[in-house]
Structure 1
């Protein structure tokens, strides 16, 4: 079957029992919906089953999500299944938070502008004014919200207000060099993604790439994860590495590390907006191609 129409995305989770795949695929087949892509995973550690399906409705123009939920819900109830439908062409409303480093911001805005990343970017938030011209070039509102230890509660309250005002679904910390308070972490639970360098051993404090160079590291990397109240320890979505050697100086490690950060963050965001990421406790299940 060939069809240029964009598919609907069905995602679901439920306890691991016999018949989980059948209850979904049988309903879709009986309703005349055509499955274009399907992935599933049974997590033995948690006893949970996860499934993601892209399907074309029997009648695209007449498809009603409410009717689907009602009809499918009658069957899914026996499995304690929770599910979501995502409409074709849905673009996640994403806010970008950034400080002074512009490599991730530049990459995201390029991928947004060229359609590689299916999002809308209604605003950019920063604790510094440095990148406002870049935002203006892309015609995106830029909110400069300075922060200090004394003003942090007010600044974070303004961040949340802006996210509500712009109806934001996802927040990306594109090298936003501030530690979020437990309160803000709670507000962003499950809908904020952070990117940071990953070095072995873990070099903490100032100038981590210089520390890494002094120890002669052989690879640099990056980790993208959901934000939680444990600094840089939220559920991991994507990671990347790049080999380096003795001929690479600190500035080379920084450049390579930033390259890895860009692609790793893009991969994580792509998984998220395509509804391929499921949380299973503190772990992620990624139903990718």
Structure 2
């Protein structure tokens, strides 16, 4: 078995990038398993993801990484080299609605989601027993309604300690109903994913599915996106919809909506840990 890697790269688009990268891999004893690339005519950026195996025993991991760093410098590229066998470390945050948390934990335990989950954080105690059933430490970090800015920052300081202690690669807001501070959003840029219903900007606030029911919506959807300081407006990773009709109750709409939210969030997390998502300004490139 040869060690496998996933290479990701983005830079200004110009001729010869694929040749340079594939040539580098060939020169370093690597065999490409699969490759995807995209040139965006609007942003003028080029994006690439390559899954490859290092088949030359004379090439060390250190030598490969050093050479790739030099290649990125030559190309003016933002690049990363990931160990394909490593499981990213994920911290999940949740409040009082647990369908997304439950779904992610099931996928994790079943091996469908190749991650490590060293901690779950919540501002409520509702899911400490669920966390315990998976042997995952549960951190209750309460935040009272109307809490002061200093109290919010103190709570976030504890979250940051957990991120550092557990060497977290990704934060998943699995229906965590607190707004993160701009500072924390900046610190987590490109490595925090949120999920919400896709009715926004309509039906804001409490009981959105009840509001949608009163308006007679015909589609229910969900959006997974990166977290930014602009509430619910970060770069979109994945979306999906389900058709509904006039005969359905609020409870049925809510159940359908929660199913869609769970699936959409799970897809986004899986694509992140497989290094398929690259930022393209306010958008994303997601390689299948």
Normalising to structure 1: TM-score of the pair? Answer: 0.93
> 1:178-216, CA deviations, whole angstroms, 9 ceiling, x for partnerless residues?
111222212222211000011277211211101111111
Q: Sort the Cα spacing of 1:195 and 1:75 in 2 relative to 1 into closer, same or farther, 3 A.
A: closer
Between the aligned partners of 1:75 and 1:103, the Cα distance in structure 2 is: 44
Cross-structure match for 1:106: 102
Cross-structure match for 1:78: 74
Cross-structure match for 1:282: 282
Task: Trace 1:113-152 onto structure 2 (pairs within 5 A).
Answer: 113-148=109-144, 149-150=147-148, 151-152=151-152
Alignment RMSD, CA only?
A: 1.6
Please give the secondary structure, in 2, of the residue aligned with 1:121: strand
Which runs of at least 4 in structure 1 moved beyond 4 Å after TM superposition?
72-76
Please, which runs of 5 or more residues in structure 1 have no aligned partner? none
Task: Trace 1:125-274 onto structure 2 (pairs within 5 A).
Answer: 125-148=121-144, 149-150=147-148, 151-199=151-199, 202-274=202-274
Offset at 1:15?
1.2
Cross-structure match for 1:21: 18
* Larger CA deviation: 61-70 vs 94-103: 61-70
> 1:151-204, CA deviations, whole angstroms, 9 ceiling, x for partnerless residues?
212111111111111111110000001111222212222211000011277211
Task: Trace 1:26-45 onto structure 2 (pairs within 5 A).
Answer: 26-45=23-42
Between the aligned partners of 1:186 and 1:225, the Cα distance in structure 2 is: 15
Q: Sort the Cα spacing of 1:43 and 1:97 in 2 relative to 1 into closer, same or farther, 3 A.
A: same
Number of residues of Structure 1 aligned to a counterpart in Structure 2:
284
Please give the secondary structure, in 1, of the residue aligned with 2:278: strand
* Larger CA deviation: 268-277 vs 80-89: 80-89
Q: Are 1:65 and 1:85, in contact at CA under 8 Å, matched by a contact in 2?
A: no
Q: Are 2:3 and 2:55, in contact at CA under 8 Å, matched by a contact in 1?
A: no
> 1:238-266, CA deviations, whole angstroms, 9 ceiling, x for partnerless residues?
11111101111100010000000001001
> 1:95-150, CA deviations, whole angstroms, 9 ceiling, x for partnerless residues?
00000111001100011111111110000000000100000000000011110313
Offset at 1:70?
3.2
* Larger CA deviation: 68-77 vs 244-253: 68-77
> 1:223-247, CA deviations, whole angstroms, 9 ceiling, x for partnerless residues?
0000001110000001111110111
Please give the secondary structure, in 1, of the residue aligned with 2:228: coil
